[in-house]
Amino acid sequence: MTLPGTRAEAAAERLPGEAAPKVVTAPHPLRRLAALGVLVLLAMAASALITNPAWEWDVVGQYLFAPSVLRSVVLTLHLTALGIVLGFALGTVLALMRLSPNRLLAGVAFGYVWLFRSVPLILQLLFWYNLALLYPRLSFGVPFGPGFFDIGTMDLISPLAAAALGLALHQAAYAAEIVRGGLLSVDPGQREAAAALGIPRARRFLRIILPQAMRTIVPNAGNEIIGLVKGTSVVYVMALPELFYQVQVIYNRNGRVMALLLVAAIWYIALTTVLSVAQYYVERHYGRGRS
Amino acid sequence: MTAMVELRDVHKSFGSLHVLRGVDLDVRRGEVLVILGPSGSGKSTLLRTINHLEKVERGTVRVDGELLGYRRSGDRLYELPERDILRQRTKIGFVFQNFNLFAHLSVRQNITEAPRSAQRRPPAEVEALATRLLDRVGLADKAEAYPRTLSGGQQQRVAIARALALEPKVLLFDEPTSALDPELVGEVLAVVRDLAGGGTTMIVVTHEIGFAREVADTVAFMDGGRILEHGPPAQVLDRPAHERTRAFLSKVL
């Protein structure tokens, strides 16, 4: 006994020796036409890039691996790394403060995020760069009490330190929200089960909660890191020879504006591509057990 | 002989909601107590006070003679530092309605985590323990699986093994079969029945009346934040003294 439409019935309809009928999918002529149109546009774009000598691909090739450009790429990476590591470290502390039952801690974290998200990055950077105008000397010691030593602000905060500080403090505001969102995304039952098992607090956070929060944190953090790679170009206002500042210096000297902007663009694309690939693997790592 | 679990005049409120209104309870060593009662009667809250997942606001909870969560000095109870509360919790196993297995850890890691980090027992000993416990709950072949790949019944059996890994003095079950498909209830209850036969002190909140009748040494019926009656199953289930108990049983039986 078989139900209608089963394979047994279909087979019974066939004559002996006849093959099973082939499935033919319906044609989509408009879809094909659209694809053809896009292909033409792509070809036109490629031709415009390659055939127009004004792009000066030879100049691009000449500067792509020039020592001064490579040094600026290293500085860009250096600033990105400092901004992300310090930013997420401070951001995690802020996220934990924000989730604290203590109102003052939560309030201060809220205020920090509010302030540093509200002021444009370029203003923050100029502020740190010019900190010496406000406080020529910084003193370390007992709060409101005697100082142990003091130091000139200009000596302590170099342009590089000011840039890293500015990027990190700005990044921390965004990182705090990302980490907080990640921590809140973990089922409260996980925290409760860990507490019921008597697992120590720090271990509970690092071993049980944070790895699960990472599933939500990593995609957003990936956005932030890639954003910061490009965001470091704002640092050119502080005359730090990172990638964007360096190509400007070169094209101001030789006038090959488009070629050098292309050099910078190629490097930014290369760096963000590497980061995107890394993000894929990190996400896969933290997605284990979820399929 | 002292009680394994002893509650005296326990009160608990959530805001203006008075959930526990003076609970007294004694559970002997090796006793299996089943707590029955309608939703909102305070059963789960009561269970959660026994390992200090909920703080008691008045009254005392003792497990194996030790005052839970507080230190008494004169007429005051001082809340213990978290470290001491965590140490006390390792003596009390808790099985949740929704299993709450750690989703990013394998079954084996779920079981070994607390003995390693909370009790600081040697790795080799803990690994052997995990193997033994998985064998006991019938999941020896699932040690390296992740919780998500298991059925609800299997997850709950892992959760029971995880609670047993601390070698607790008392096991608390909070509606362990309520989140399961009906055909999976039996396998979890079989494990609990097996533990009951082995002399483990257990407090089980459940709606499974048949299980209560078969396995429980005593049954308590809760309503409105109080224990209305507490006695052998034959007495509470078949000859309930309270009208409330009769009404509840007539609905669930």
Kindly list the residues from chain A whose CB atom is less than 8 angstroms away from the CB atom of residue B105: 289
- Name the pLDDT band for A159 (thresholds 50, 70, 90): confident
Other C-beta atoms lying within 10 Å of the C-beta of residue A111:
10
Q: Is residue A53 part of a domain?
A: no
Radius of gyration of chain A (CA): 29
User: A128: Cβ–Cβ under 8 A, 6 or more apart, which residues?
Assistant: A157, A162, A163, A165, A166, A169
Higher pLDDT, A195 or A136: A195
Q: Is residue A16 part of a domain?
A: no
Is the residue at A238 inside a domain?
yes
Tokens standing for A164?
């890293």
Q: How far is A291 from chain B (nearest CA, A)?
A: 9
A106: domain CATH number is 1.10.3720.10
pLDDT at B131 over 80: yes
Q: What pLDDT score does A8 carry?
A: 52
Tabulate helix, strand, coil % of chain B (nearest 5). 40, 25, 35
Structural domain includes residue A147: no
Q: What is the pLDDT of residue A131?
A: 80
Burial class (CB in 10 A: 0-12, 13-18, 19+), B204: buried
Task: For residue A84, give how far its alpha carbon lies from the nearest alpha carbon of chain B (Å).
Answer: 25
- Whole-number pLDDT of residue A158: 80
d(CA A124, CA A170): 8
pLDDT of residue A50: 85
Contact B90 A193 (CB under 8 A): no
B147 close contact with A: CB closer than 8 A: yes
Q: How far is CA A175 from CA A219, A220, A225, B236, in A?
A: 12, 9, 10, 57
Interface residue B173 vs chain A (CB under 8 A): no
- Pairing, β B32-36 against β B218-223: parallel
Asked if residue A1 belongs to a domain, the reply is no
Q: How many domains does chain A have?
A: 1
Mean pLDDT in chain A? Answer: 88
Instruction: State residue A181's pLDDT score.
Output: 95
Regarding pTM above 0.90, the answer is no
User: pLDDT tens digit string along B31-80?
Assistant: 999 999 998 899 999 999 999 999 998 999 999 999 999 998 888 889 99
Dihedral Cα B189, B190, B195, B201, nearest 10 deg? 20
Q: Which residue has the tokens 């079969």?
A: B177
Q: What distance in Å separates the CA atoms of residue B206 and residue B190, rounded to the nearest whole number?
A: 14
Cβ-defined contact of B53 to A201 (cutoff 8 Å): no
Parent domain of A279: 64-136+153-286
Residue A120 lies in a domain: yes
Residues 6+ apart with CB under 8 A from A85: none
Nearest residue to A164 via CA among A234, A115, A98 = A234
Per-residue pLDDT band for B1 (boundaries 50, 70, 90) equals low
| Closest Cα in chain A, distance from residue B199 (Å) | 21
Q: What size, in residues, is chain A?
A: 291
B13 touches chain A (CB under 8 A): no
Smallest CA–CA separation between B86 and chain A, in Å? 4
On the 0-12 / 13-18 / 19+ scale of CB atoms within 10 A, B249 is middle
Strand B58-63 vs strand B66-67: parallel, antiparallel, or unpaired? antiparallel
Number of C-beta neighbours around residue B242 at 10 A:
13
CA A112 to chain CA centroid, Å, is: 21
Amino acid at site B213: R
Residue B29 φ/ψ, nearest 5 degrees: -60, 130
The DSSP secondary-structure symbol of A174 reads: H
- From chain A residues 196-255, the ones with a CB under 8 A of any chain B CB are 196-201, 203, 207-208, 211-212
Tell me the CA distances in angstroms from B95 to A216, B27, B160, one per residue in order.
Answer: 27, 18, 6
A260 in a structural domain: yes
Half-sphere exposure of residue B220, counting CA atoms within 13 Å on the CB side?
A: 25
Confirm whether A22 is domain-assigned: no
Tell me what the pLDDT averaged over chain B comes to: 93
Spatial distance between the Cα atoms of B241 and B230, rounded to a whole number of angstroms: 10
ipTM of the complex: 0.91
